Amino acid sequence: MSERKPIYVTKAFVPPIEEYTAQLRRIWASGQLTNQGPLALELEKLLAERLGVPHCLFMANGTLAIQLALRALGVKGRVITTPYSYVATVSSILWENCEPVFVDIDPATTCIDANAVESALKNGASAILATHVYGIPCDVERLAELGRRYNVKVIYDAAHAFDATYKGRQLLAYGDMSTCSFHATKLFHTGEGGCVIAHSDTDAAQLRLLRSFGHIGDEHFQLGINAKASELNAAMGLTVLPHVERLKRERGQVVAQYDAALATAPITRPQAPEGRVTNHAYYPVIFRSGEAMQRVKATLEADKVFPRRYFYPSLDTLPYVKADACPVSRSIAERVLCLPLYPGLAEGDVERIAEVVTSLA
């Protein structure tokens, strides 16, 4: 039998090279490599239309997108956030010299617990920064109501949520601002990249200014940074975007195979509320114990299959933050694995992975 190729948790979508070079030719024709060139502007317009939002600001990555959203909304001091996310959610808060206040998650959805948010708001805060984990919506109605009642901004790290919808509306359209990552491993990508969704012309202008050193021509308005994305990244985005529908469909087929093959496995899966249409971004499974998770992980790895502990660790355990313990988040972080999921993952491989999960969990 031939050597098996390793199977990783995901595989970046590499579009046909002719399609990318066709976009690159436009750059060679314009001679403009960055600074909001025609491709970046076109991508922003296409994304805003697709997402049904007034403004989509293309950024260098999804982490700077969060930082600029916090800045643009004037967030200071305490920021209520989730311990169950990628480290960039909390690192952005710290980098902006704000204080993260972790509250625990809802074990059903793995998103921030709105009741815990409400309790934390009683001690004061200037914003809520929550993650739509695995593209599952936070309790967006409740959080919007809390935002109004306590006069705090609601920002979503929607890095997992591209093209996921809730009640007929793109998840990225919720909140005072939402951010997305267009990193190579995400459903829609530009190699490296990200965006901030804004709802007013004033917010959009503020984000543009922050993204580009805080000045327009010779006139300097405020402290800014360089968070621009290049035309090369925009070219990748314009090439990948027309494939997204198909990529989602093919991911959905793999998801259906896992669902069937794992029907009797002693695992649980995070649940989305009614009204969500998934983007099939991830396939998380939660085991009964950390030992069961480790057993499955080691057995798969011995067979060159590399699921990922996502999210791990719970961010309230990071050595550089001081936080109250969040037991639900810690418990799930100890027991979760994201299984390999990408278009073209063979049915036989899905069955082989599901077999290990079912027999060893």
State the nearest-atom distance from the C-beta of 222 to ligand PLP, in Å: 23
Question: Please, which of residues 180-199 interact with ligand PLP by CB under 6 A?
Answer: 181, 183, 194
For residues 328-357, one letter each, b for 16 or more C-beta atoms within 10 angstroms of the residue's C-beta and e for the rest, the string is bbbbbbbbbbbbbbbbebeeebbebbbebb
Among 13, 86, 162, 188, binds ligand PLP (CB under 6 A): 86
Residue 165 sits in the site that holds ligand PLP (CB under 6 A): no
Helices and strands (DSSP H and E) totals, the chain? 12, 16
**Exposure of 254 by Cβ count < 10 A (0-12 exposed, 13-18 middle, 19+ buried)?**
buried
State the nearest-atom distance from the C-beta of 241 to ligand PLP, in Å: 17
State the nearest-atom distance from the C-beta of 86 to ligand PLP, in Å: 4
- Alpha-carbon distance of 214 to 207, in angstroms, equals 9
Q: What is the DSSP letter of 73?
A: T
Stretch that binds ligand PLP, among 109-117, 154-162, 215-223, 269-277 (CB under 6 A): 154-162
State the nearest-atom distance from the C-beta of 102 to ligand PLP, in Å: 15
Residue 160 sits in the site that holds ligand PLP (CB under 6 A): yes
State the nearest-atom distance from the C-beta of 31 to ligand PLP, in Å: 28
Q: For ligand PLP, what does the binding mask look like between residues 50 and 79, x meaning CB under 6 A?
A: -----------xxx----------------
Residue with nearest beta carbon to ligand PLP? 62
DSSP characters over 90-131: HHHHHHTT-EEEE--B-TTT-SB-HHHHHHHHTT--SEEEEE
- Contact 316/329 with Cβ under 8 angstroms? yes
Residues interacting with ligand PLP, by CB under 6 A?
Answer: 61-63, 85-86, 88-89, 131, 157, 159-160, 181, 183, 194
